[in-house]
Amino acid sequence: MRQTVLPPRVALPAAGFGVAALVVLSLFVGTYDIAGDSFGAEMFFISRVPRTLALVLAGCAMAVSGLIMQLLTQNRFVEPSTTGTSEWAALGLLVTVLLAPAAPLLVRMVVASVAAFVGTMIFIGILRRISLRSSLVVPLIGIMLGAVVSAFTTYLAVSTNSLQMLGTWFMGSFTSIVRGRYEVLWVVAIVVFLVFLYADRITVAGLGRDIATSVGLDHTRVMLIGTGLVAVATGVTTVVVGFLPFLGLVVPNLVSMWRGDNARANLPWVCLGGVAIVIVCDIVGRVIRMPFEVPVSMILGVVGSAVFITLLLRMRARG
Partner 1 sequence: MSTRLIRPLAAASVAAVLALTGCASGAAAPAEQAAATTVTVEDNHGSIEVPVAPERVVALDNTTFETLSEWGVKLVAAPKPLMYDLWPSLSGGDEVLDAGLHREPNIENILASEPDLIVGGYRFREIYDQLKEIQPATIETSPRDGEEHTSELKRQTAILGQVFDKNDEAAKLNADLDAAIADAKAAYDPSQTVMGLITSGGKISYAAPGEGRGVGHLFPTLGLTPALDRAAEDASHGDDISVEAIAAANPEWLFVLDRDAMFGEDGYVSAQELVENAEALKNVPAVQKGQIVYLDGSFYLDEGIQAYTKLYRSAAEAFAS
Contacts of 173 (CB under 8 A, 6+ apart): 241, 242, 293, 295, 296, 297
With respect to partner 1, which residue has the nearer C-beta, 98 or 147?
A: 98
Contacts of 113 (CB under 8 A, 6+ apart): 89, 92, 231, 232, 234, 235, 236
Burial 167-191 (b: 16+ CB within 10 A, else e): eebbebbbbebbeebbeebebbeeb
Q: Is 31 in the site for partner 1 (CB under 8 A)?
A: yes
Q: How far is the CB of 47 from partner 1 (least distance, A)?
A: 5
String of contacts with partner 1 for each residue 49-68, x by CB under 8 A: --------------------
**Of residues 5, 7, 35, 102, which one binds partner 1 by CB under 8 A?**
102
**Of residues 11, 15, 23, 47, which one binds partner 1 by CB under 8 A?**
47
String of contacts with partner 1 for each residue 258-297, x by CB under 8 A: ----------------------------x--xxxxxxx--
Q: Is 193 in the site for partner 1 (CB under 8 A)?
A: no
With respect to partner 1, which residue has the nearer C-beta, 58 or 67?
A: 58
With respect to partner 1, which residue has the nearer C-beta, 181 or 259?
A: 181
Q: Is 101 in the site for partner 1 (CB under 8 A)?
A: yes
Q: How far is the CB of 104 from partner 1 (least distance, A)?
A: 10
With respect to partner 1, which residue has the nearer C-beta, 101 or 260?
A: 101
Q: How far is the CB of 183 from partner 1 (least distance, A)?
A: 14
Q: How far is the CB of 163 from partner 1 (least distance, A)?
A: 9
- Contact (Cβ atoms closer than 8 angstroms) between residue 62 and residue 241: no
With respect to partner 1, which residue has the nearer C-beta, 163 or 257?
A: 163
Q: Is 35 in the site for partner 1 (CB under 8 A)?
A: no
Q: How many CA atoms lie within 13 A of 8 on its CB side?
A: 7
With respect to partner 1, which residue has the nearer C-beta, 178 or 257?
A: 178
In angstroms, rounded to a whole number, what is the distance separating the alpha carbons of residues 223 and 219?
A: 6
Q: Is 156 in the site for partner 1 (CB under 8 A)?
A: no
The values of phi and psi at residue 240, to 5°, are: -85, -45
Long-range contact set of residues 94-102: C-beta below 8 Å, sequence gap at least 24: 94/153, 94/156, 94/157, 94/162, 94/166, 95/156, 97/162, 98/156, 98/160, 98/162
The values of phi and psi at residue 4, to 5°, are: -75, 165
Helices 263-287 and 49-73, interaxial angle, to 10°?
140
Q: Is 30 in the site for partner 1 (CB under 8 A)?
A: yes
**Of residues 35, 125, 164, 210, which one binds partner 1 by CB under 8 A?**
164
With respect to partner 1, which residue has the nearer C-beta, 128 or 289?
A: 289
Q: Is 39 in the site for partner 1 (CB under 8 A)?
A: yes
With respect to partner 1, which residue has the nearer C-beta, 154 or 305?
A: 154
Class of residue 132 by CB neighbours under 10 A (exposed 0-12, middle 13-18, buried 19+): exposed
With respect to partner 1, which residue has the nearer C-beta, 79 or 293?
A: 293
| DSSP label of 80 | G
Which residues make up the interface to partner 1 (CB under 8 A)? 30-33, 39, 42-43, 46-47, 96-98, 101-103, 158, 160-162, 164-169, 173, 175-176, 178-180, 286, 289-295
